Amino acid sequence: MNVSNQTSEKSVYPVMMSEQISLPVRTILEKTLLGEELNVEDACVLFATQGAEAQAVLDTADKVREKRVGDTGTFVITRNINFTNVCYMGCRFCNFAKEKGDEDAEFLTVEQVADRAEEAWARGATEVCIQGGLHPDIGPDYYRDLIVAVKKRVPEIHIHAFSPFEIWYGCKKGRLEPEVFLTELKALGLGSMPGTAAEILDTEVRKQLTKNKLTTEEWVRIIKAAHSVGVPTTSTIMYGHVDQPIHWANHLKLLRDIQKETGGFTEFVPLGFIHYETRLYNDNPDTVRPGPTQDEHFKMHAIARLMLQGHIDNIQASWVKMGPDVATKMLRSGANDLGGTLMNESISRAAGATHGQEVFPEDMVANIQAAGLNAVQRSTKYEVVKNFFKTPLTNRIAIRGVA
């Protein structure tokens, strides 16, 4: 059963008719409750709301979430495996990258990656998320060899691996077109790809973040190539730095347009900029914002729900970026997924995040239930792995599963 299709259509709820809600905002919100498509201008109006109007946006997103995916909150048991922190791309928002000669530089062998995947499987993971820096010593076969080694060791685990930037790098190393390279990876066992490296899909913003090393056009090209050969991907945004709401709205529209064409996105994951240890912020504290505000976090998830409804219906709240408490609140502001238990995560922590190592399945269940939703462990592709129920007579979580 697919998690996204558990409830029948429900009646449309009227937006509160408070005098505090202006006619333009009320009109946009009522349009979303009817399932009508928002344009970029509509989204910008919603991003500009404050006070009661902003709360109405969140309340509407919660109603649309209920209509689209029901009263279910999901999570996946996964392990992040960052196989190298060596990278020479020089992205200014990243503090993860090291040079080859650095004392704390790391480059795992394929067998070490397989070891970690096997450990994850033994601990109940259904997925490993494998990503790394663009190490100069990566050969044309390294990405293939990683998949082969993991699948040989743990045949049933889902491999969610390689950002569009890594696919771009693998194509460059092997002198292959993306469709050819991705077809080969899929045949070896690649199950899906993270849609990271998107940052903001705007040329001028990307020049400030990455010197436009992976252009918007290249990112879109690789994502569409993945979808065309049957490799689904996530979709992401990184916000709260040199960007503005118009960039966010255009980014959401572009993702929606891609989904209309390919249908290959499984979810949308907003990722707030973590500024603490990054050159982007520390070299430009007067012009670069120190990450999104909490208000912007809530609006991003809510407006994404409203703008993407019917196209990308799984909206993830990243506890790694926002912390478990805030992420839990997002489940009643448009989001329906808390992402993965992770086991390891080093990219956000390298940038100064205080969250990101591991939460346990029982923590995910408790947080989802605290939001008033039914907790479901899902697969990477949002199929039900296990339903969880709260013991009627106590507040303890009963780990009872129904396949």
Q: Which of 243, 228, 342 is nearest to 292 (CA)?
A: 243
Give a yes or no: residue 326 inside a domain.
yes
Residues annotated in a binding site for (3R)-3-methyl-D-ornithine: 163, 318
Q: For residues 212 and 17, give the distance between their C-alpha atoms in angstroms, rounded to a whole number.
A: 45
Give a yes or no: residue 220 inside a domain.
yes
Q: How confident is the model at residue 349 (pLDDT cuts 50, 70, 90)?
A: very low
pLDDT digits (tens, 9 = 90+) for 123-151: 999 999 999 989 999 998 999 999 999 99
Give a yes or no: residue 140 inside a domain.
yes
CB 195 within 8 A of CB 132: no
Which pair of tokens denotes residue 241?
């730095």
Residues annotated in a binding site: 87, 91, 93-94, 163, 199, 318
* Domain carrying residue 199: 68-398
Residues above pLDDT 70, as percent of the chain: 83
Q: Is the pLDDT of residue 270 over 50?
A: yes
CB 324 within 8 A of CB 363: yes
Residues annotated in a binding site for [4Fe-4S] cluster: 87, 91, 94
Surface-to-core class of residue 17, CB atoms within 10 Å of its CB (0-12 exposed, 13-18 middle, 19+ buried): exposed
> What pTM did the predictor assign?
0.88
Q: Is the pLDDT of residue 11 over 70?
A: no
CB 273 within 8 A of CB 240: yes
Q: 190-192 and 158-161 as β-strands: parallel, antiparallel, unpaired? A: parallel
pLDDT digits (tens, 9 = 90+) for 382-399: 999 999 966 443 333 333
Q: For residues 403 and 397, give the distance between their C-alpha atoms in angstroms, rounded to a whole number.
A: 18
Give a yes or no: residue 374 inside a domain.
yes
For tokens 């436009």, the residue is: 212
pLDDT at residue 403, as a whole number: 25
Q: Is the pLDDT of residue 402 over 60?
A: no
How many domains is the chain partitioned into structurally?
1
Residues annotated in a binding site for S-adenosyl-L-methionine: 93, 199
CATH code of the domain containing 139: 3.20.20.70
Q: Which of 201, 214, 198 is nearest to 247 (CA)?
A: 201
Give 281's contacts (C-beta < 8 A, 6+ positions apart). 241, 275, 288, 290
For tokens 């290959």, the residue is: 264
Q: For residues 206 and 204, give the distance between their C-alpha atoms in angstroms, rounded to a whole number.
A: 5
Q: For residues 285 and 280, give the distance between their C-alpha atoms in angstroms, rounded to a whole number.
A: 8
pLDDT at residue 398, as a whole number: 33
Give a yes or no: residue 21 inside a domain.
no
Q: Looking at residues 26-30, what average pLDDT do you find?
A: 95
Q: Looking at residues 193-215, what average pLDDT do you find?
A: 89
pLDDT digits (tens, 9 = 90+) for 278-309: 666 566 677 778 789 999 999 999 999 999 99
Give a yes or no: residue 139 inside a domain.
yes
pLDDT at residue 90, as a whole number: 60
Range with lowest mean pLDDT among 71-75, 94-98, 346-350:
346-350
Q: Looking at residues 44-58, what average pLDDT do you find?
A: 96
Q: Is the pLDDT of residue 367 over 70?
A: yes
Q: Looking at residues 140-167, what average pLDDT do you find?
A: 97
pLDDT digits (tens, 9 = 90+) for 303-326: 999 999 999 999 999 998 899 999
Q: Is the pLDDT of residue 182 over 90?
A: yes
pLDDT digits (tens, 9 = 90+) for 85-127: 888 776 656 666 677 878 888 999 999 999 999 999 999 999 9
Q: 397-398 and 374-378 as β-strands: parallel, antiparallel, unpaired? A: unpaired
Give a yes or no: residue 221 inside a domain.
yes
pLDDT at residue 157, as a whole number: 98
Give a yes or no: residue 238 inside a domain.
yes
Q: Is the pLDDT of residue 370 over 80?
A: yes
Region class of 246: left (phi > 0), else alpha (psi between -120 and 50), else beta:
alpha
Q: Is the pLDDT of residue 400 over 50?
A: no
